[in-house]
A and B are shown apart, each in its own frame.
Chain A
Amino acid sequence: MASTAIASPTSQIAVSRRTSYTRAFAGLFVRDLRVLGREIGPFLIRVAMNPLLFLFIFTYVMPHMSGGAALNPTAKMAAGSGGFGTVLLPGLMAVAIMFSGIAAVALPLAQEFGITREIDDRVMCPLPVEAVAIEKIVFSAMQSIIAACAVFPLAYYIPTPHVAAHVTSWPFLIAVMLLASLLAGALGLTIGTAVSPKQIGLIFGVVVMPITFLGCVYYPWAALGPIKWLQIGVCINPIVYMSEGLRAALTPSTGHMPQWLILTMLTFFLCLLTWLGLKGFRRRVIG
């Protein structure tokens, strides 16, 4: 019979546990790559649209308006350090990273838990259910890095007053990118497992908008000095450390938090959100 003729030569029982886990994890990653590859166009449009419009209006249109500088709230603040574009470059990259985490993990998870129940099949893979969730974080991190890299040229070339960017420490930049991208995936996992599928639409209003606007995306953290309560309050927002981290790595001429603090806080939030997300994931998939 055909089925016995092609019987697997590597007896599945003999395959060691680690090999089995690694192969399952790799399999999940390959599957996600295939699906992303098919949707690369829409993916890039989604990633580019927000920064493109933002940059066009605030760093191209407004500076060209007569009296545009007066309309631009942060023009004065940014005047000394290469224009508003310099403030926006790391901020918009942070938004792209964060948003990829939501779009790659939270939104699909809400669908899988609610409508399709595809997740019930995915957790039947021969590896611990936590590893299925970790794969989602890792794959989302890869998308975040692609998104950040796609935003960089836009944020660098579009602004009229040229952006003052230079990398002082590559290892620091890489560390920030990796931590921020994984953190975004963990945030997506936490949101996707904590929110009921019916309420996922609310996420944009209730979570994404506040953490973006209060995430030191459009202004450096140091500039919040005059509003002390807010400057302290935003410290519970993980996006602050993504923006500040990229600011410190790419546009150090703008004031930024100390590097050690940024790395510590990114690690702290990565651990916290991964723990919360895995706990939520387990609760949702195992009855």
Chain B
Amino acid sequence: MSETIVEISGLRKVYAAKTPVTAVDGIDLSVASGELFGLLGPNGAGKTTTISIATTRALPTAGTVCIAGIDVVAQPAIARRSIGVVPQYNTLDRSCTVSENIYFHCLFFGMSRAEARARTAQLLEQFRLSDRAEAYPQALSGGLAQRLQIARAIAHRPKVLFLDEPSAGLDPQSRIAMWEAVRGLRAEGITVVLTTHYMEEADELCDRLAIIDHGKILVQDTPAALKASVGGDKIYELRLRNGDATGQLQTRLLATSGVNSVDTIDGGLRVLAKAQDGVLASVVTTANDFGLRDVTTTEPSLETVFIRLTGRDLRE
């Protein structure tokens, strides 16, 4: 068993306000060295707050976070040597060029000038930024800026890299390039913790992931195990002519064999059912009497897992 590099226990964060907001509500998790770990959840689930605390930029209300054995609240300055961060928004130094962004980061982390120059050249090459080395960050596209942020974040060879919503605002092509870059980091042995609300991203990239909602971890496992846990379930979304009058249909569907759950959605119902012969037919027959207009079926995915756990989909 490889060593644990990120250890979060009993983490809580309550933002003081007239009505206090609990952003993180008792999170425990541990990430092993070399793992690519994902926090999957909708916006506002508490992912960013968890990352902010783990990277010393916010203080927890309760609980502890240890990175490489160092308590981030007690010794933030020391802990930062093991941490690389790429936040959701662009924090590149606009007064410095692309190469200076990496070079000065290296100096901040104690490298000599020669070491910093060598490391900068190597990272520019690795992240295919060499031809833009003298450009200023304002001139970079979203995808390039994101790559530069990742290159800068790992310049001091941190043990863990935290990526907060790395593909937010990226076009599909840049997103794939970013995924490649992240996989490359794992090959270098850097542990990666990322947050996302894109299930494809979590599925594609992560060795293990935790599904998080309302500040709590609902489940954590490998993507394959999570998908298997829904037992080959399928989702049928029924669009009905009179989308609001669904009460009776809901009761009848729940009585149908093979149906696990029925939730109301906009304009109809969402049925979570076993993928076995005849279930779709009986669902359709039952719904037909209630003015069925359309059916869409979805294969089991992380989304299915999320819906099973929360009754909502990730985009809601």
Q: Which residues of A contact B (CB under 8 A)?
A: 1-4, 6-8, 10, 12-13, 15, 17, 19-21, 23-24, 26-28, 30-31, 34-35, 38, 116-121, 123-129, 285-287
From known contacts A12-B81, A24-B109, A117-B89, infer whether A31 and B104 are also in contact, taking CB-CB under 8 Å.
yes
| Total count of chain B residues near the partner, CB < 8 A | 40
Q: Which 8 A-B pairs have the closest CB atoms?
A: A287-B58, A27-B107, A121-B91, A23-B110, A27-B108, A31-B104, A125-B108, A35-B95
B77 lies within 8 A of A21 (CB): yes
B181 located at the interface, meaning its Cβ lies under 8 Å from any Cβ of chain A in the complex? no
Contacts of B85 in A (CB 8 A): 121, 124
Give A9's nearest chain B residue, CB to CB. B115
Q: Which residues of B in the span 88-135 have a Cβ within 8 Å of any Cβ on A?
A: 89-96, 100, 104, 107-111, 115, 118-119, 122, 125-126
29 residue pairs of the A-B complex, CB under 8 angstroms, read: A1-B188, A6-B118, A7-B157, A12-B109, A12-B157, A13-B81, A23-B107, A26-B107, A27-B104, A27-B108, A28-B108, A30-B104, A34-B104, A35-B96, A116-B90, A118-B91, A118-B93, A121-B85, A123-B57, A124-B55, A124-B80, A125-B109, A126-B77, A126-B78, A126-B80, A126-B110, A286-B57, A286-B59, A287-B49
A4 to B119 Cα, complex, angstroms: 10
A1 to B190 Cα, complex, angstroms: 14
B115 lies within 8 A of A8 (CB): yes
Q: Which residues of B contact A (CB under 8 A)?
A: 49, 52, 55-59, 76-78, 80-81, 83, 85, 87, 89-96, 100, 104, 107-111, 115, 118-119, 122, 125-126, 152, 156-157, 188
B107 lies within 8 A of A8 (CB): no
Q: How close is A282's CB to chain B, nearest CB, in angstroms?
A: 10
Q: How close is B142's CB to chain A, nearest CB, in angstroms?
A: 15
Contacts of A121 in B (CB 8 A): 85, 87, 91-93, 152
B188 lies within 8 A of A126 (CB): no
Give B116's nearest chain A residue, CB to CB. A27
Contacts of A19 in B (CB 8 A): 110
From known contacts A3-B122, A12-B110, A126-B78, infer whether A31 and B91 are also in contact, taking CB-CB under 8 Å.
no
Q: How close is A102's CB to chain B, nearest CB, in angstroms?
A: 18
A120 lies within 8 A of B57 (CB): yes
Contacts of A123 in B (CB 8 A): 57
Of A6, A118, A125, which contacts B80 at CB under 8 A?
A125
Q: How close is B60's CB to chain A, nearest CB, in angstroms?
A: 10
Q: How close is A248's CB to chain B, nearest CB, in angstroms?
A: 38
Give A31's nearest chain B residue, CB to CB. B104
Contacts of B77 in A (CB 8 A): 17, 20-21, 126-128
A116 lies within 8 A of B80 (CB): no
Q: How close is A116's CB to chain B, nearest CB, in angstroms?
A: 6
Contacts of A1 in B (CB 8 A): 188
Residue from B78, B109, B115, B118 with most neighbouring chain A CB atoms (10 Å): B109
